[in-house]
Amino acid sequence: MRVVLLGPQGAGKGTQAQRISEKTGAEHISTGDLVRAEIKAGSELGRKIKDYNDRGELVPDEIIIEMAKPYLSETESWLLDGFPRNEAQARALDEALQEIGRDLDWAVALEAPDEELVMRLSGRRQSQATGKIYHVEHDPPPEGGDDKGPFIQREDDAEGAIRRRLEIYHEHTEPLKDYYGEKGILVTVDATRGIPEVTGDVLREMGQPAEGGT
């Protein structure tokens, strides 16, 4: 099972990737985690990536592909989270998979209305004491107890920043649904349902056993 996960920020890609990985044995490959690991390791690739980040420039697609390719080739079953984000990256991924003799089985798109995503993300608060994330509605910061905060809203969780990221998603990443739909491998899932229900829906759509989608 080789899967690309698509969806706007706040749709739960990371959470679902972890759950599906646990239930299927597929490796969760987060390009964001790989980037941070390469930079922390101080590798040649990490230094290249850090140079782009320090200049405020996007890391070229070929560098991301170079970084991810060993992980894509070393395991038979994986979920790719965070890449591709546009059609050029999708085509670059197709070429890389062809080079290593792999095929993409599914592209899973998690869908939720913008207003739902704004509510989810803008309600988050992070404890400066522990780093733990809370939500003002669903998981309020504690009053008293071990975690005394203060509890702040990160700049990237401000409503304006969230809406800008959603605009970028709709313009550049959402069209990938058409790209993968034409290949006949697109699965769309309602991400507004509970986390276990979404996991079960994804597994069923991919023809995987959905037992324990709880």
What would the pLDDT profile of 60-119 be if each residue is shown by its tens digit?
A: 888 888 888 888 998 889 999 989 999 999 999 999 999 999 999 999 999 999 999 999
Answer yes or no: is pLDDT of 204 > 60: yes
Q: Which neighbouring-strand residues pair with 6?
A: 109
DSSP class of residue 38?
H
Taking Cα atoms as reference points, which of 81, 64, 80 lies closest to residue 12?
Answer: 81
Residue positions annotated with a catalytic role: 13, 85, 124, 154, 165
CATH architecture for the domain at 2-112+174-205:
3-Layer(aba) Sandwich (3.40)
Query: Burial level of 42, CB count in 10 A (0-12/13-18/19+)?
Result: exposed
Answer yes or no: is pLDDT of 33 > 90: no
What's residue 145's pLDDT?
Answer: 79
| pLDDT, tens digit, 9 for 90 and up, residues 154-183 | 888 889 988 998 999 999 999 999 999 999
Read off the pTM.
0.84
**Mean pLDDT for all residues in the chain:** 90
Structure tokens at 3: 């899967």
pLDDT confidence tier of residue 211, bands split at 50, 70 and 90:
low
